[in-house]
Amino acid sequence: MDKREFLVKSGLAAVGIAAAPFARAASTTVNVGISLAMSGHVAAIGNNVWKGLSLYSDLHKDSLPAGVHIDTLLRDDKGSPDDIKRIVQELVIRNKVTLLGGVALTPQAMAVAPVVTQAKIPLMVMNASTSSVTRKSPYIVRVSHTNWQTSYTLGVWAGGHGYKRVYTMVADYAAGLDSKEAFAAGFKKAGGEIAGSVQTPITTADYLPYMAKVKESGADALYIFINAGHINAAVSAFADSGLKKAGMKLIGPGDVSLDDELAHMSTSAVGMITAGG
């Protein structure tokens, strides 16, 4: 199952779960609030989750309990922590939602955790993968994955497949740092050595300056965790710097090889190794 299919399927459960408590109710409308990045640099994630929800709703609209109607309220948060916090507050106060879902990025999950805790409304996180997300509120459940499931496993794999020294380059925020830590733990357990590491600004689109440090390290491979929307720039910089031609391998979690991203990548992506749901 590829990353796109995984994201789609992770969004399927929300509508059915929301309807369950009202199985014997008569003429009941259940409001489900969904906040996703439908535009902006991580729109690929939001759009795939929404496609899954829409598909499930269409397929099962005639299977709801008698008298129960689901009103799914989609809001575009553009991947912004400030926007999603405001949106969730509005969904809770104005729309009286029974269930919340969505959340593309970890900073967004952290921003809304206090809101759902105070409101006592369940939130289904459908992507944000930093391990600590579900510990921020007893009302948060995640239906996607954690960075440790993908990055730690990739580290163990790399150490067992001939890689001796790996340089890590990750976006400088919670998910990137979590991913780096997970990969390093798995790689070191398998006998590998981290040749160096760098954290890049989450908003940068210029990765070429960072490749000089990678080249100087003499690493066998470069591990990257870059957000959707900037992946192609990082992959192109890897090739343009001559690292690919020199024989260095590019590896990372499945987040860096989303189907929607691959469709717009140049041939620089050929040979990249990723692991994920």
Query: 255-270, pLDDT tens digit by residue?
Result: 777 777 777 777 888 8
Both 124 and 195 in a single domain?
A: no
* Gap between the Cα atoms of 183 and 177, Å rounded: 10
How confident is residue 138, by pLDDT bands cut at 50, 70 and 90?
A: very high
* Token representation of residue 31: 């409001």
Both 41 and 138 in a single domain?
A: yes
Spatial CB neighbours of 12, under 8 Å, sequence gap ≥ 6: 52, 53, 55, 56
* Residue at token pair 């990372």: 252
Query: 25-64, pLDDT tens digit by residue?
Result: 457 889 999 999 999 988 888 998 999 889 988 898 888 8
Closest CA to 252 of 165, 188, 169, 131: 169
Domain boundary among 116, 142, 168: 142
Closest CA to 97 of 14, 23, 24: 14
CATH number, position 220: 3.40.50.2300
- Reply yes or no on whether the pLDDT at 9 is more than 60: no
Both 122 and 217 in a single domain?
A: no
C-alpha count within 13 angstroms, C-beta hemisphere, residue 181: 12
Tell me if 155 sits within 8 A of 192, measured CB to CB.
yes
Both 84 and 188 in a single domain?
A: no
Both 35 and 62 in a single domain?
A: yes
Both 130 and 175 in a single domain?
A: no
| Confidence at residue 27, expressed as pLDDT on a 0 to 100 scale | 77
Both 122 and 174 in a single domain?
A: no
Both 16 and 94 in a single domain?
A: yes
Both 114 and 162 in a single domain?
A: no
- Reply yes or no on whether the pLDDT at 122 is more than 60: yes
Whether the predicted model's global pTM rises above the 0.85 cut = no
Is 91 buried (19+), middle (13-18) or exposed (0-12) by CB count in 10 A?
buried
The residue range of the domain holding 267 is: 147-275
Both 130 and 167 in a single domain?
A: no
Residue 142 DSSP label: E
Domain count, the chain: 2
